[in-house]
A and B are shown apart, each in its own frame.
Chain A
């Protein structure tokens, strides 16, 4: 009885530990092994080395996928951060009906990117959406047909992605701005610093860690981009808006190239690791340093 009492907490958590362990390590290991096998339509366990990776990197479509990812990430992360910061600063100016404005900018976070993407796909449709509206207002030459244009379709995803995520970075920045010590701000104002200078020299530097956190989270979203690309353009026109995540889906479940799909999935995992491992090491280092100072 005493023994049971001692072991009870561990027994209670054991199933969750086992499930998490399987989920994290066994699943990742299994997918990794498949990526080294000659699996096509069905999983097979014949070891083939890194052939799948070689053919993945030789595939033109994969080239499109990862250059899209770089392009998308660069604009999506910086613009969603900049726009979110602007919104956070505006909302931080002791405005009326603050929660109303916040609600307006944050609601896209509550709905799925499938819903957002579907609706924006209609808006981008030149025959009925934004172009049609501007044309019927009188500007008949106006052209806005991103989703039907190979060169520019990626911009449709970038714009909608920013629209959907700016509220998120706004919320994080706002939490940061609210945590800044009011005395420092007052001291700066007494010294005669202008509004702009107070932000640039005093407030924003103190919330620098938040910039990094927001960037890391947005980058993570970018690497996992799937729903938005499916709902907005379905990787098209042609293959022009393929992303790594849509590539995985396509190769695993549409073309029956499980091995190569698994290799692509491992590349997504690697991309996440490249972003997250340095970041978590940095967090540990910062916590240690703070503990050392405290």
Chain B
């Protein structure tokens, strides 16, 4: 009897040991796969980062992918203010500020308009408002190529051709469908009773918006601002088609820079330039990652 019990516990122990071994093995597989894949993801970033501080002589001798042996900061001021892009030798600074001057107003305006539109389309519905919303949504799917000629013509007519203001206008209208979608879907979740009660108390359209809706909006405002900021900063097609020369945003400058086919490639300076172009959206991503992902999933699924 005692023997049998002992045998059973032994068998149980063995079973448990096998299970925990299998668990450990599974963990090892999971973490090694994750580590392997993350190397594939981190290496390109590290390559750019290291090369922005290595000397060009070292890069051409050792290749792009190797650990740094030297440290110098010389590439940065050169990329910022001396490097030649398309015949102009004053670095990426000008293009960087073009992008800043474009992205800040365009993000603020398109987000504000999206909030108001979403508010009307969710809380002040009127006959046909669903159709209006549907039409605005179509804008989400419009390929930029369709709009190129009309924009070029229109901006020419209103005197905004080849200017940062023109790009602000383009991105405000481009972004309208997305921002409206974000805010409308968020505001639908706010109970109508809240609005009704406020209206009975005599609050009007704007009062309800500023006193009730806006204070409830920070999460969706952050999502929308991040979405618009990264989207507009990274945009290339309109920047390269509608603007030229020194009025282009930084994405267009980056392409011009890497295509200005001099025989010796100055990878150190170009790495610094790439980092300067990538830094603003990367910072936004690292500090607002949660909201970035939320915007991504919402923007994609709805």
B partners with A: yes
Chain A contact residues, CB within 8 Å of chain B = 5, 8-10, 12-13, 16-17, 19-21, 23-28, 30-31, 34, 43, 86-87, 90-91, 93, 95, 99, 101-116, 118-123, 125, 128-130, 132-133, 136, 163, 167-168, 171-172, 175, 195, 210, 213-214, 217, 220, 223-224, 226-227, 230-231, 234, 245, 248-249, 252-253, 258, 262, 264-266, 268-269, 272, 276
The residue of chain A having its C-beta at the shortest distance from the C-beta of B40 within the complex is A163
Minimum CB–CB distance for A10 against chain B, Å: 6
Contact A103 B289 (CB under 8 A): yes
- Contact present for B292 and A30 (CB under 8 Å): no
A20 touches B173 (CB 8 A): yes
Assess the A213–B64 pair: CB atoms within 8 A: no
Q: A133-B65, A248-B145 are in contact. Are A171 and B258 (CB under 8 A)?
A: no
The smallest beta-carbon distance between B36 and chain A, in angstroms, is: 11
A103 to B149, CA, bound (A): 38
List CB contacts (< 8 Å) of B104-121 with chain A: 113, 116-117, 120-121
| B30-A24 in contact (CB<8A) | no
Chain B contacts for A122, CB-based, 8 A = 47, 64, 267
Using Cβ atoms and an 8 Å threshold, which residues of chain A touch B180?
16
Query: Smallest CB-CB separation from A121: which chain B residue?
Result: B258
Name 18 A/B residue pairs within 8 A (Cβ), A-sorted: A5-B205, A9-B205, A12-B120, A12-B205, A13-B116, A16-B180, A24-B142, A106-B293, A107-B282, A112-B236, A115-B251, A118-B258, A119-B274, A128-B60, A168-B296, A224-B144, A231-B258, A249-B237
Contact residues in A for B30 (Cβ distance below 8 Å): 90, 93, 95
Smallest beta-carbon distance B190→chain A, Å? 16
Give the most central of B116, B146, B297: most A CB within 10 Å: B146
Q: Are B254 and A114 in contact (CB under 8 A)?
A: yes
Q: Number of B residues contacting the other chain (C-beta, 8 Å)?
A: 82
Q: How far is it, in angstroms, between the C-alpha of A292 and the C-alpha of B45 when the chains are bound? A: 50
What CA separation (Å) do A52 and B39 show in the bound complex? Answer: 48
User: Which residue of the partner chain, among A118, A123, A262, A264, contacts B64 with CB atoms under 8 Å?
Assistant: A123
Which label, helix, strand, loop or mixed, suits the secondary structure of the B interface?
A: helix
Q: A217 to B300, Cβ gap below 8 A?
A: yes
Which of A17, A25, A213, A276 touches B301 (beta carbons < 8 Å)? A213
**Chain A: which residue is nearest B290 at the CB level?**
A99
A231 touches B64 (CB 8 A): no
CB-defined contacts of B47 to chain A, threshold 8 Å:
119, 122-123
Smallest CB gap from B235: residue in A: A112
B187 → A minimal CB distance (Å): 13
The segment from B131-139, B159-167, B217-225 found at the interface with A is B131-139
Question: Are A276 and B236 CB-contacts (below 8 A) given A13-B116, A121-B258?
Answer: no
